[in-house]
Amino acid sequence: MAVGNLTQDELDGIYAFAVDLGRKAGNMLMERVEQRISGGDALSQQFEEKDNAVDIVTQTDEDVEVFIRKAIHAQYPSHKFLGEETYAKGQSREYLIDEHPTWCIDPLDGTVNYTHIFPMFCVSIGFIVQHRPVIGVIYAPFQDQLFSACSGRGAWLNESRQLPLVRRPAVPPMPANAPAQCIFACEWGKDRRDIPDGNMHRKIESFVNLAAELGGRDGKGGMVHGVRSLGSATMDLAYTAMGAFDIWWEGGCWEWDVAAGIAILLEAGGLVTTANPPDDPETAPIEDVRLGSRLYLAIRPAGPSATETGRQSQERAVRAVWRRVRQLSYTRPGA
């Protein structure tokens, strides 16, 4: 399957390069952790604060981004490059991705986890053509979990096991009473301002609606099977692609946090749209997510039942979430 001006052969070559690059970059992250451990200094990783005390960056983020950028530039000098740390140093907050082949990467997602050596940190490498993420590589080196996908080639765990962890014909539909029986993944995020009806409080209200017993919360109670927060949007998406999480709902992260994960989720058969409920959640069209929108709702791959296609069961789950969540306010120019 060709994508843009790229043949499947060319895509396959880029995919192999991206997987190799992901492993190397993840190994760099892990080497730094090993150095901290063997130096008896594991919890003293230095970091600098960006927007606030929980928005941090380490020298490792910057070093690994430079490594990835140089490797891509040497191999594919005509491709564009967008990395979290490069972007953070730029003046513009515009959405910079256009129709050209573009690498969109986060050298270290879960930086807070990384500084504390909680294993949920990873490198995220996405490749985008004509605004569509077509290749994704996510590598969490502490756990040696490499998630990857290429358009037309399937989605994989450690390059050997097909994602989701089920054979395609047997993927179950979303539960009939979703969000009940679903694992719901979400993040508290970096916006902790205690503003009445601000983002933090709207998020929490939404989480509580999804968690509360059926019939509770004025009928909004969703009684999800579990609420999980890992501190990494990228890992959330990877686990949703794998089917370990059923629903991921998030506002506030950026395109480099999700580009690779969206490529993997879509190739695995998942759905991703906006987190913000439209005025009529029951009938509004369910549109493809805008990569730079900072508002994401992902549903795991789902197969058909006797009465629904897989896509129908996913859309039912989207509407079930939209009915229970508040609109979030994360914006930017140009997206």
- Which residue in 68, 60, 65 sits closest to 20, CA to CA? 68
Report the nearest approach of a second copy to the CB of residue 127 (Å).
27
What letters, b where the CB count within 10 A reaches 16 and e where it falls short, cover 116-140? eeebbbbbbbbbbbeebbbbbbbbb
Which residues in this chain contact a second copy in the complex, by CB under 8 A?
Answer: 37, 40-44, 52-54, 112-113, 115-119, 143, 161, 164-167, 169-172, 180-181, 183, 188, 192-194, 200-201, 204, 207-208, 211-217, 221, 223-231, 239, 242-246
Nearer to a second copy, 91 or 160 (CB): 160
Report the nearest approach of a second copy to the CB of residue 134 (Å).
26
Nearer to a second copy, 100 or 217 (CB): 217
Q: Say if residue 84 carries a ligand binding annotation.
A: yes
Phi, then psi, of 272 in degrees rounded to 5: -140, 130
Tell me how far apart the alpha carbons of residues 290 and 14 are, in angstroms, rounded to a whole number.
24
Nearer to a second copy, 82 or 325 (CB): 325
Q: Say if residue 257 carries a ligand binding annotation.
A: yes
Q: Say if residue 163 carries a ligand binding annotation.
A: no
Under 8 Å between Cβ of 82 and 102: yes
Under 8 Å between Cβ of 144 and 29: no
Nearer to a second copy, 102 or 111 (CB): 111
Tokens of 86: 């490069």
DSSP state of 224: B
- Which residue in 112, 119, 163, 118 sits closest to 137, CA to CA? 163
Report the nearest approach of a second copy to the CB of residue 95 (Å).
27
- Which residue in 332, 326, 263 sits closest to 292, CA to CA? 332
Report the nearest approach of a second copy to the CB of residue 41 (Å).
6
Nearer to a second copy, 67 or 118 (CB): 118
Report the nearest approach of a second copy to the CB of residue 274 (Å).
24
Q: Say if residue 108 carries a ligand binding annotation.
A: yes
Binding residues for Mg(2+): 84, 106, 108-109, 257
Binding residues: 84, 106, 108-109, 257
